[in-house]
Structure 1
Amino acid sequence: MFHKVERPTTSQVIRNQILAAITAGTLKPGQRVPPERELSAMFVVSRPALREGLNALVLAGILERRGSQGTFVAESLNTSILGSSMQLVPVRAAREAIEIIEARRVIECELARLAAERRTDDDLDAMARLLEQLGDCEDDNPRRAPLDFDFHAALGAAAHSGILHSLQLSLGQKVLAIMRKAIYRPKANADGHREHTGIFTAIRDGQGERAARIMKEHLEKLEDGVRIHMETHAVFAAHGESDDV
């Protein structure tokens, strides 16, 4: 019924204020965000805390960096679509997804390590086929989500550890619907594909510790994406975009 009330971090407050400015139309798609020095003075925060907040929004595809030009609200961002997309996954479901991802991180890092030791040629072929299919659908979230699940499942099978693999599949099924609707954004898709490729390469080359490390980083980024979704949902709800909690 209840859950722990957590104090927002400085970077979360920064993210929420920037999201609120985008929602209100103060910051528009394609518009340049003030330089870090100005933002740091406006928020009265340190530059590292500011960068953490900005980096999270870049990861979510809401902001984009253009080299020396600075940071901009993503050109392709449609605030009405973003607002409606937040309605698709309730905060309570996203909160559950975070707990699932935490469990997956423990299980799948070990599966990646074991897969590097035990994989067969058939296992590698199955993973390689799925990796190629994932690369062909970076902009097709409904298609990509089940392929992502299948890739992780193939990795789990390559570990040849029945109980761990069963746990992985059970957890993966629970989060699949949420991944399909709300997690993926263009930059996250591209980053995810690079991480999948790194995991596959490490497993193929028998580098178990490297495979586990990349898997850990991959799932931590996914967890960050879910947290940003929850915070974005809260901002849109505060502005009347969604009633789902």
Structure 2
Amino acid sequence: MNPFSDLDDATSVYSFPGKGRHVLDALTGYIKRHNLRPGDRLPTEREFSMVLKIARSSIREAFSQLSALGIIESRAGSGTYLLRHVSPDTIYMPLSLSVDNLAEMLLMTLEVRRGIEIEASMAAARRRTQSDITRMRAALEAIERTHHSEEGSGPADFAFHMAIYDAAHNPLFRQLLEQMRDRFGRFWERPFGRHDFASRSFPFHRTLFDAIVAGDAEAAAAETRKILDVVEEDIRDMGP
């Protein structure tokens, strides 16, 4: 289905001014109405703005929210794509945390991440499929290739952990952890200006992978704790 084919007749349904939830409802209503599926390209901000009679800045803000939630993805030179099913009935759980000290804020999120990530690794050990294992292995091998490079293994490390969350086959794991990471995106590119941040956790990625492949949930939990312990120690050592 072409998502641009009948933008004009959507005007009668969504031609109202609005912000916040109203804009999200309009966007997700259009997605449902046109039966768009993950992988489909969406109309542009400008096209949505014209059809919905809503300021382009409000559309942009709604796109940003949906992107942070991992529902859509903007691809340079290509457009914006739907990543996951969404409708006006979708429940959103945005995160809000106001702390002036970055290290303190990171430690707060780490406390929450511990429970989520440990459970995710245990679920992955119980539910992983061969396809999940293939994705995790590819990301792990990328980490091992780039670990000692000047650029570091950040993107590969992120892909590895995302593959674990997906292997848990519970979409809330990935969504919650992506939101936490997205809020500190710039920080995680080069934590505290150090390319070697949490590098001591490197060997535990292989042992975590092995535990998940073996279906050993308790071992997966233990290896995840080791990784998070290193992250916590480095935040405390490098923070002001």
In the other structure, the counterpart of 2:208 is: 199
Q: Does 1:150 align with 2:159?
A: yes
CA displacement 1:48-75 (0-9 Å, x = unmatched): xxxxxxxxxxxxxxxxxxxxxxxxxxxx
Q: Which among 164, 168, 181 is matched to residue 173 of structure 2?
A: 164
Greater Cα shift, 119-128 or 158-167: 158-167
Structure 1 residue 177: deviation in Å? Answer: 2.6
Between the aligned partners of 2:224 and 2:184, the Cα distance in structure 1 is: 17
CA displacement 1:6-25 (0-9 Å, x = unmatched): xxxxxxxxxxxxxxxxxxxx
In the other structure, the counterpart of 2:187 is: 178
The secondary structure found in structure 1 opposite 2:153 is: helix
Q: TM-score, normalised by structure 2?
A: 0.54
Tell me if structure 2 keeps the 8 A contact 1:116–1:206: yes
* Pairs aligned (count): 141
Structure 1 residue 176: deviation in Å? Answer: 4.1
Structure 1 pair 204/133, CA: closer, same or farther in 2 (3 Å)?
A: same
Q: Percent of aligned pairs with the same residue?
A: 27
The residue identity in structure 2 corresponding to 1:198 is T
Q: Which among 126, 129, 137 is matched to residue 128 of structure 1?
A: 137
Between the aligned partners of 2:118 and 2:165, the Cα distance in structure 1 is: 10
Structure 1 residue 146: deviation in Å? Answer: 2.2
Structure 1 residue 142: deviation in Å? Answer: 4.5
Between the aligned partners of 2:168 and 2:124, the Cα distance in structure 1 is: 4
Q: Which among 106, 110, 113 is matched to residue 119 of structure 2?
A: 110
The secondary structure found in structure 2 opposite 1:160 is: coil
The residue identity in structure 1 corresponding to 2:111 is E
CA displacement 1:179-216 (0-9 Å, x = unmatched): 32126555942x32211111100000000011011101
RMSD (Å), alpha carbons: 2.3
Structure 1 pair 198/175, CA: closer, same or farther in 2 (3 Å)?
A: farther
The secondary structure found in structure 1 opposite 2:148 is: coil
Between the aligned partners of 2:138 and 2:214, the Cα distance in structure 1 is: 17
Q: Point out the structure with the larger helix share.
A: 1
Structure 1 pair 216/162, CA: closer, same or farther in 2 (3 Å)?
A: same
Between the aligned partners of 2:114 and 2:149, the Cα distance in structure 1 is: 25
Q: Which aligned segments of 4 or more residues in structure 1 are displaced greater than 4 angstroms?
A: 183-188
Between the aligned partners of 1:143 and 1:111, the Cα distance in structure 2 is: 25
Mark the runs of 5 or more structure 2 residues left unpaired by the alignment: 1-99
Tell me if structure 2 keeps the 8 A contact 1:101–1:223: yes
Q: Does 1:208 align with 2:227?
A: no
Structure 1 residue 139: deviation in Å? Answer: 3.0
More contact order relative to length (CA 8 Å, sep ≥ 6)? 1
Mark the runs of 5 or more structure 1 residues left unpaired by the alignment: 1-90, 235-245
Structure 1 pair 110/169, CA: closer, same or farther in 2 (3 Å)?
A: same
